[in-house]
Structure 1
């Protein structure tokens, strides 16, 4: 068994297609299939369901896949540790992020890329619960999530800000005279919202219910991108965080603050306290503390 076989297995999980997995790994499809069969022979297990095309993983394959991710993360951590001993910072920073928050991740990524040009980034949109689980399993290096789920006995935290809400709209289709909107006005608008159950949506629903309002959104989606598409098409407006960079996507997009509208849990950058954690994660966390330590202010202030 070698590390490449594990990479091939993970690539197959990412693409769900033999040909695309081979292309991702820069090898031919027959080579990919042969190396995966060699892995199965070595483990004496069938990992992949095969037919005319990829049909998924067996139960054993799913279990081996989880170990493959852990081993590959440890391998990458070892490489990053060796680079750190040489005074370098290389590798891929795995960052999990809640989909909507009053924080633009480019404010972290840009200074890191300027200081460490060999650094790469893998961004995952996840719930706070999934981020904490991913950090615990060493599947993520850092997490950007709401801190009400975080036990600081097990995680180091850089508190960033509370998330205030605003109404994202396209000025070609909607205009408002007010500088700050109230919830009663929002209840009369065609709204696009994140799906029920997501942390940001729960805060929105609480704000409506506390005022005796029961709006029926025109559109619901788990994808921020789809909500922005709908807003740009004039289908609806969307309740979004302030100061997260959405207005920069188009000259027609604006975000108006909403009165008394905030996610009560503060947002923070989170690093697991326990080993193993990579030198890459530790250094990027230290850099984030330097970048944001004296500059980030509570948006409720």
Structure 2
């Protein structure tokens, strides 16, 4: 029964029998047969069928909420029993906004020092994708913005505040100063993340607030591309301070603070709203609290 519920959740997520089957490493006929068996067990039609997936019936929508709850409870029971017998083990799937990937690496590394039998899969995703993946049980936790756009019913823990730097080649006119302000970017070609990224929406808002008419000459969902573009000399990249310092090390780049350190939007851990949490997620939350305190001490120093 549990495996059929997981197949049903995958079908609702992918909205396509073929893609859902592929995500589960199953053949499409096997998936279709199991969904049909689930409908027979529950005594109701869950999926509109035609030549292709036609969506969930009203009963299917209700069943989906129950399926998610049952699968989550089953996973939590399994994790708690395993932790009592063997200690923390297994996999944590973590979806992270691109600008927080260095923090995700720090968090996972520090966590594994205490719990070496836990492995991490870290995925770079937009803030909206992270919320959808949490809801669909595709990931266990996320790291994203906490105070800029609605999050829904999740638990959050602030880790740091994201402020920004202008990053440019040392030969760029902007590099002559030690700092910059957002208005200085008026009319300058920029290398920015794509508009589907919340970071880009924040940057656009900052520029708009000072009346800066700055357009991107390069857009990418990869921060590496933005740094490489700045290094090439034509564009100025706008990046979070920690990420800028990490990627610019060893390169002929100028880093110009745009904000007072620690004044930007809050970024932190996002967990499904469940009480109690699984042992692994509770331990992850505690480790994130330590990371946040350490970061604040560095900020205050």
Whether the TM-score (by the shorter chain) exceeds 0.5 is: yes
CA change 1:145–1:253 in 2 (3 A) is farther
Q: For residue 225 of structure 2, what is the aligned residue in structure 1?
A: 229
Return 14-23 or 273-282, whichever deviates more.
Answer: 14-23
CA change 1:203–1:36 in 2 (3 A) is closer
Q: How far 1:186 moved relative to its partner?
A: 1.9
State how far apart, in whole Å, the 1-side matches of 2:287 and 2:235 are.
39
Return 120-129 or 3-12, whichever deviates more.
Answer: 120-129
Q: Given that residues 70 and 139 in structure 1 are in contact (C-alpha distance below 8 angstroms), is that contact kept between their aligned partners in structure 2? A: no
CA change 1:258–1:188 in 2 (3 A) is farther
Where in structure 1 are there 5+ consecutive unaligned residues? none
Q: For residue 47 of structure 2, what is the aligned residue in structure 1?
A: 47
Q: How far 1:35 moved relative to its partner?
A: 0.8
Q: Given that residues 144 and 268 in structure 1 are in contact (C-alpha distance below 8 angstroms), is that contact kept between their aligned partners in structure 2? A: yes
- Kindly tell me the number of residue pairs found equivalent between the two proteins: 291
CA change 1:11–1:220 in 2 (3 A) is same
SS of 2:175's partner is coil
State how far apart, in whole Å, the 2-side matches of 1:25 and 1:206 are.
40
Q: For residue 268 of structure 1, what is the aligned residue in structure 2?
A: 268
Q: For residue 180 of structure 1, what is the aligned residue in structure 2?
A: 179
Question: RMSD of aligned C-alpha atoms?
Answer: 4.4
1:160-171 matches, within 5 Å, as 160-169=159-168
Q: How far 1:201 moved relative to its partner?
A: 4.1
Q: For residue 72 of structure 1, what is the aligned residue in structure 2?
A: 71
State how far apart, in whole Å, the 1-side matches of 2:53 and 2:218 are.
33
- TM-score normalised to structure 2 length: 0.71
CA change 1:122–1:243 in 2 (3 A) is closer
Return 290-299 or 30-39, whichever deviates more.
Answer: 290-299
1:10 aligns with 2:9: yes
SS of 1:214's partner is coil
- TM-score normalised to structure 1 length: 0.71
Q: Given that residues 79 and 279 in structure 2 are in contact (C-alpha distance below 8 angstroms), is that contact kept between their aligned partners in structure 1? A: yes
State how far apart, in whole Å, the 1-side matches of 2:242 and 2:56 are.
45
Where in structure 2 are there 5+ consecutive unaligned residues? none
1:183-209 CA distance string (max 9 Å, x none): 343223212445669654454345434
